[in-house]
Amino acid sequence: MRRTTSPEVLLRLHRQAGVPLRAQLEGQLREAIRGGRLRPGVQLPSTRVLAADLGLSRGLVVAAYEQLLAEGYLTAHSGSATRVAGREAEPARATAVGAEPAPPQWRYDFRPGVPDAALFPRRAWLTSLRRVLASPSDAVLGYPDARGPEQARTALAAYLNRVRGTAARADRIVMCTGFTQGLRLVSRALHRRGVAAIGIEDPCHAAHRAAILSTGLEVIPIPVDDRGLRVERLESSGAGAVFVTPAHQYPTGAVLAPERRAAVLDWAARTGALVIEDDYDAEYRYDREPIGTLQGLAPDRVVLAGSVSKTLAPALRVGWLVLPADLAPEVAALKYEEDLGSPALDQLAYADFLDRGELDRHLRRTRLSYRRRRDSLVTALQRHLPGLRVRGVAAGLHLMVELSPGASETEVVAAAGRHSVRVYGVQTHRAREQGPPALLLGYGRLGSAAIAEGVTRLAAVLA
Ligand SMILES: Cc1ncc(COP(=O)(O)O)c(C=O)c1O
């Protein structure tokens, strides 16, 4: 196979223009360098390749390059390629419309719900990607099934059935670009079916409330207490569906109590409503038994939604929906309409990663690490802020700390920021219910020493 490492450069010569071809070539290269289209340091094609590409004699191209070398536009050292001269230009200043100033850097960022990028299993993931690309079939590079490659859906169904107690089947799965797209797709499907309003937990992740509202559905906030969603409030709500986080309520951390799990499924069966179950961080649990999914109990009434954003990395944007039989084709059609399918190679890599037991291994390792961080955070809070109530410690990558009733979340967040500690208020996630002021503290990305120092500073602020 013939290989060339020559870079491509767009040059157009006009043979009828009456201007000598060599002058045109020099002029275009000069223009491209002055205008920044060819940046300092960029390698030019070899004279042989460029001559062949443009249908010119090699001598003509050599002469043009020599002229530009003499003028200082190009550099060449014997034995190495010809490059555009000059230092690498300064990166463009952030003055363009819409450009954001660089965010402030916090030394102690308690961002909730993000895993530690340093724990990402790079080597094992690379192996999976390599194995996918080594596939003898070129089909993996074609347009995928909009639901995701069958192999990916099959591997995911097997994993979810084994670990999350679902009743998943490959033909009822739609892979999507993260959980958030999945939530929007189901909401759109419900809206098309004539559902006017969906019950949501209050508080509920503000971005997810916004995603639902963007599809035209109304939201009906239903309060949450220590036992999760107040399911009895659904009865008179008129909602045609409900969106819940049963294994680990976001953001309070409550677990939906067994009788409420039964009640929500009963409500759905009686009224024909749909339950959307966000199973976002169920694999991270520390001092309690795993809690199976609602979907496994009522696969025809529940949509299970999940993603790798907590277990692996949000950058992958690999998410999924496990759908009831009657809804699966509709949602698959919407997915096709929206973007023809999510990137398939990452889904196939995830399938390989699951099939080789790598996720099990990764979870066993990271669960220990996150548990240690959780313990450090709980210990630091007990020591430095013993009067405050801490909720949702048994699972996930964050917990919630209730502040004294008169405290202002906004002021505490701002004051902590001045000490390089970033904490997050709960208020933005509340729709209607007024609850005590509270902070979300994520421990996914901080080591034990940073957690201890961050809490010490936070306590000084609160004092
Ligand atoms: C409650 C909750 N559910 C789901 C997700 C995952 O969303 P995505 O897969 O779009 O990253 C998140 C991520 O922040 C979350 O906080």
Strands 424-425 and 438-442: antiparallel
Q: Which protein residue has the closest C-alpha to ligand 1 atom 5?
A: 280
User: What is the position in ligand 1's atom list of the atom closest to the CA of 114?
Assistant: 14
Who wins on pLDDT, 340 or 40?
Answer: 340
What does the alpha-carbon distance between residue 249 and residue 226 come to, in Å, rounded to a whole number? 10
Cβ pair 231, 264 in contact under 8 A: yes
How many angstroms separate the alpha carbon of residue 223 from the centre of ligand 1?
20
How many angstroms separate the alpha carbon of residue 200 from the centre of ligand 1?
15
In short, whether 284's Cβ falls inside 6 Å of ligand 1 is: no
Q: Does residue 313 sit in helix, strand or coil? A: coil
In short, whether 250's Cβ falls inside 6 Å of ligand 1 is: yes
What does the alpha-carbon distance between residue 165 and residue 111 come to, in Å, rounded to a whole number? 30
Taking only the tens place, the pLDDT of each residue in 254-306 is 999 999 999 999 999 999 999 999 999 989 999 888 899 999 999 999 999 99
In short, whether 309's Cβ falls inside 6 Å of ligand 1 is: yes
Which residues, 6 or more positions from 64, have their beta carbon under 8 angstroms from its beta carbon? 22, 25, 26, 29
How many angstroms separate the alpha carbon of residue 25 from the centre of ligand 1?
53
User: What is the position in ligand 1's atom list of the atom closest to the CA of 250?
Assistant: 1
Q: Which protein residue has the closest C-alpha to ligand 1 atom 7?
A: 179
CA 337 vs CA 213, 330, 340, 341, 351: distances in Å: 20, 11, 6, 9, 24
Q: Which protein residue has the closest C-alpha to ligand 1 atom 6?
A: 179
- 109-123, 282-296, 360-374: segment of lowest average pLDDT: 282-296
Taking only the tens place, the pLDDT of each residue in 86-109 is 865 444 444 445 555 565 678 999
In short, whether 149's Cβ falls inside 6 Å of ligand 1 is: no
Cβ pair 284, 395 in contact under 8 A: yes
* Residue 338 confidence (pLDDT): 97
Vertex 17 angle, CA 14 and 23, to 5°: 75
In short, whether 278's Cβ falls inside 6 Å of ligand 1 is: yes
| Statement: residue 160 has pLDDT above 60 | yes
In short, whether 392's Cβ falls inside 6 Å of ligand 1 is: no
In short, whether 307's Cβ falls inside 6 Å of ligand 1 is: yes
In short, whether 205's Cβ falls inside 6 Å of ligand 1 is: yes
How many angstroms separate the alpha carbon of residue 328 from the centre of ligand 1?
21
Q: Does residue 140 sit in helix, strand or coil? A: helix
User: What is the position in ligand 1's atom list of the atom closest to the CA of 179?
Assistant: 9
- Which residue out of 175, 179, 208, 318 has the highest number of ligand 1 atoms within 8 Å of its CB and is therefore the one to mutate? 179
Place 37 in a pLDDT band, splitting at 50, 70 and 90: confident
What's the mean pLDDT in 415-441? 94
Q: Which protein residue has the closest C-alpha to ligand 1 atom 14?
A: 113
| Statement: residue 157 has pLDDT above 90 | yes
> How many percent of the chain have pLDDT more than 70?
95
Average pLDDT of the chain?
A: 93
Taking only the tens place, the pLDDT of each residue in 205-223 is 999 999 999 999 999 999 9
| Statement: residue 318 has pLDDT above 80 | yes
What does the alpha-carbon distance between residue 452 and residue 373 come to, in Å, rounded to a whole number? 10
